[in-house]
Each structure stands twice: as structure tokens, then as C-alpha cells.
Amino acid sequence: MGETTFSCRHCGALLKAWAFRCYSCGSAAKSSATPANTPVAGTTAPNSGDAALSKKLRPLKVRRRSFWLLGSALSFLAALAASLFVYFHGLTIHRAVAFSVILGGSCIGMILNTAFTRKSKEYGKEEKALVGAQVVESLLAGNFELIEYAPQKSFSMEQLLASQLRGWSSFEGNDFFRGTYKGVSFAFSDVQLAPLFFKGQWLILDLHREMPAPLMISELEDRGSFGKKARVQIEEPPKAHIAQAQFSNTFTILTDTSDLVSQVLTPDFMEFLLGIGPPPASSASHTGKHLLFEGKQVHIFIYSDHDLFELAGSEVQNIPAFLERVQREIDFIKRVIDGFLLIEGLFEGRESK
């Protein structure tokens, strides 16, 4: 069976199913299977269920935003009041008293901001649980063989340590789900790492064979601590050499087994990695990637400065638009997994559906 293709919506060039960008005109690729402006099935018009969901979400969104703004305002006002007191009474009070007033005002401001921010986050969690239960989970179940979906959950600290990603001291995540897609078991979560300033998506795919050695492919600043830097050396036609040179200038490859590089980094897979763009609704102009093949898993980090499945304020009144965007974000995840299926031998024996 031939490989699925579709035409670029700008220049008409024939693109592979997993392509994120047209290599003829450079425009972002949109698969004909899910056009950017075509609502997913069942979301073409608002219905009573959408109206009921909007009605539940509106007060949560308002309270979440109001408590956040109130906390910021009270924090600022407390610090300002302390500063004004010292300014007008500075000549009549001792310096230690002035310092105590400013410090006390700042502390009160921080306490108020923390309290109101915590309350804002509680409303955010209620909103996320409601959206997850009534929108996201059903769409995930329609696209994958869904095993688990937990809006407030993420991967464990042990799994993050196993990814060999460096430069972080704390992390948080949400929208964890796991399942199978085309016979491949996987798990996903949005994640934020500090102080690495990484915000994006994290996928773990279960391989169907053991990797002979760890292989890290990264374009992030900190690339881990194991292995030797390897060169991409593949005997292919001239087009492959062009992709090879661009890939070598973009990514750092670390491994102890150079033969593994040529097995994984085929011309199609290099083209796929170079072409991964940000997911729908992301404001990032570029996606940093970090991959680790080790044991029987591959960790995939994609920097996008964006959380998937988050309800924007404008979408509270337009649930069909939110459904459409979530479907396009799910399509993004599917296309990433499709790209790794280009590597022969990693998923042998899978039952593609």
C-alpha cells in the first residue's frame, strides 16, 4: 500500500502524511484529512449541550480571572501604601521603623497575592476538570484506544529523571493520558520545567525492541551528560545530503554506538524532525526538540510555549470552535507518532489500526 499523501494548500506540492511544513513553498502544512477551518463531526453548530457547558464555564472563568486580578491589585496596593507612608513620614520616624513598614507592606502584599492566586488556581482546576470530562476525554477516546485520561496529572519525577533532560529543578504538568495508536503504546502530558523555561509537550512511546545503546537527539541548550557526539553519515542521494547537513547544524546527537545513528536517522525521519512545527494555537515561532531513545522507550519533548486542550476566554461562548481546535491538537499528536513510525524495526509486530 502506498504512503498517504496530500497537497499543499498554497502551492499544490504533494506532501507526505506526516509533513508539518511544505518544502516547496515553506508554508505550514494542513492535512486534507482535517482542514484548518473545517469543524470536526458533530461540532458544526451549537447545541443545547454546548449552551449548558458554556453556562457552567462562564462563572468559573470569571472567578478565576477576578481572583487573579484582585490578588495582583491588592499586592501592589499594600506595597504602595507602605511606600507612601514612609515617603510622607520619613522625617519623623526612625529608619528601622521605615524599613519595617516597607517590609511589612511587601509581606502583606505577597500573602494576599498568594491567597488569591491559590483561589484562582482552584477555579482553574474546576474548569479543567469540567472541560476534560465533557469535551477532551470523548475526543481522545474517538482518536485513540484510550486507557487513562487525568486532566490534573502528569508523569512522575522518576520518569523525568529517566529522560536525561537537564537544567530544571522543578516541574509541573497536566492533561496526562495514555493509550495505543496504530498498535503503539504511548503516554502524553503537557509539562513546564523551571528554571529551564521549557513549556510544551512530552510523549513517551513504548518500542517493540530493546535499543542497543542510549541515543539522544536534541536542539535544546542542555543536552544531558552521557555518550559521545556523533555525526550523521548516511549514503543516500544528494537530497538526503542536503537534509543531513541541515540536520547536523540543528541537532546535537549523543550516543556510544555510531551505527545506531544511521539506523534511526533515515532521510525521511530527519526531514520529519526538521519539519515539526508548533501545535495549533501556539504562539511559538519555533519548536525545540529533545529525544531520548533508551531501553524500550523513546522520550519526546517538544517546546511550544503552549498547553494543549486549554479553553481560551473567547471559546467559552463558542464550544464548537474549542472542539475543532482540540481535534487539531490531537491531530498534531498523531502526526508526531506517525513520524516515529518511519523508523523501521522499532515497532515490529504492531497491529496497525
The count of C-alpha atoms lying within 13 angstroms of the C-alpha of 248, restricted to the half-sphere facing its C-beta, is: 14
Is the pLDDT score of 182 beyond 70? yes
Task: Tell me if 276 sits within 8 A of 289, measured CB to CB.
Answer: yes
**Across all residues in the chain, what is the average pLDDT?**
76
Amino acid at site 118: R
What is the side-by-side strand order in the sheet with 184-194?
Answer: 145-150, 170-181, 184-194, 198-206, 297-303, 289-294, 215-218, 252-255, 228-229
C-alpha cell of residue 161: 529523571
Q: What is the pLDDT of residue 45?
A: 43
Residues of the chain above pLDDT 90, percent: 25
**What tens digit of pLDDT does each residue of 206-253 get?**
998 899 988 988 886 543 333 333 333 333 333 334 456 778 888 888
Q: Is 54 exposed, middle or buried (0-12, 13-18, 19+ CB in 10 A)?
A: middle
As a whole number, mean pLDDT of residues 266-288 equals 84
Is the pLDDT score of 73 beyond 90? no
Task: Tell me if 252 sits within 8 A of 174, measured CB to CB.
Answer: no
**Secondary structure E strands in the chain:** 5-7, 14-16, 145-150, 170-181, 184-194, 198-206, 215-218, 228-229, 252-255, 289-294, 297-303
Binned at pLDDT 50, 70 and 90, residue 38 comes out as very low
As a whole number, mean pLDDT of residues 111-136 equals 75
C-alpha cell of residue 33: 484529512
Task: Tell me if 205 sits within 8 A of 184, measured CB to CB.
Answer: yes
Task: Tell me if 274 sits within 8 A of 250, measured CB to CB.
Answer: yes
Contacts of 161 (CB under 8 A, 6+ apart): none
Cell 503537557 sits on residue? 190
Q: Does residue 320 have a cis peptide bond before it, meaning omega lies within 30 degrees of 0?
A: no
Q: What is the pLDDT of residue 235?
A: 32
Binned at pLDDT 50, 70 and 90, residue 40 comes out as very low
Q: What is the pLDDT of residue 88?
A: 76
For residues 95 and 86, what is the distance between their CA atoms, to the nearest angstrom?
A: 9
Is the pLDDT score of 143 beyond 90? yes
Sign of the CA dihedral running 230, 285, 325, 12? negative
**What tens digit of pLDDT does each residue of 297-332 get?**
999 999 888 899 988 877 778 888 889 999 999 999
Which of residues 41 and 134 earns the better pLDDT score? 134
As a whole number, mean pLDDT of residues 262-291 equals 85
Q: What is the pLDDT of residue 227?
A: 35
Question: H helices then E strands: how many in the chain?
Answer: 8, 11
